[in-house]
């Protein structure tokens, strides 16, 4: 599956959940997306939920902005850097970000960055339409 296909599928899952949450305030919606609640109530949202496994080692992990509005990806690659293709970058150049570099490809490594998973950040950029927040991610 390409990143774009995953992104669209994930966004549609997010949309379907949001349709059920119209009775909740913005703050309650954000709380609903807390990892522990999502594992229990929305087991199909993320494959990691089956093993109760977090993607980041954070005590308070929130899944509302999974995919991250600062992540930029192009399945065809942004550019060539020497003989490698650069497929993804971080728009805020997070100090906790890094890169996976293989023989032919360079990918953004978000493993050490928790920016979009903190509720203070989610509140700052909050919109009930996930696609609206993510619109710059991969030209969606």
Contacts with ligand SF4 by CB under 6 A lie at 35, 45-46, 48, 54-55, 63, 66, 117
85 vs 125, beta carbon nearer ligand SF4 = 125
56 vs 79, beta carbon nearer ligand SF4 = 56
Q: How far is the CB of 111 from ligand SF4 (least distance, A)?
A: 11
Of 114, 10, 140, the C-alpha closest to 57 is 114
Q: How far is the CB of 59 from ligand SF4 (least distance, A)?
A: 13
Q: How far is the CB of 45 from ligand SF4 (least distance, A)?
A: 6
What count of other Cβ atoms lies within 10 Å of the Cβ of residue 96? 12
Beta-strand pair 105-109/98-101: antiparallel
10 vs 84, beta carbon nearer ligand SF4 = 10
Strand, helix or coil at 10? Answer: helix
Of 99, 98, 96, the C-alpha closest to 116 is 96
């Amino acid at each position: 599956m390409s990143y774009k296909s995953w992104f669209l599928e994930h966004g549609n899952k997010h949309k379907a959940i949001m349709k059920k949450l119209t009775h909740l305030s913005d703050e309650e919606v954000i709380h609903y997306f807390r990892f522990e609640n999502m594992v229990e109530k929305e087991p199909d949202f993320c494959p990691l939920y089956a093993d109760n496994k977090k993607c980041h080692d954070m005590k308070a992990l929130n899944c509302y902005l999974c995919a991250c509005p600062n992540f930029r990806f192009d399945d065809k690659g942004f550019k060539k850097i020497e003989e490698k293709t650069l497929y993804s970058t971080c728009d805020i150049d997070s100090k906790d970000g890094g890169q996976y570099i293989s023989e032919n490809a360079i990918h953004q490594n978000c493993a050490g960055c928790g920016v979009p998973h903190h509720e203070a950040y989610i509140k700052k950029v909050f919109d009930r339409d996930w696609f609206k927040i993510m619109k710059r991610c991969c030209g969606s």
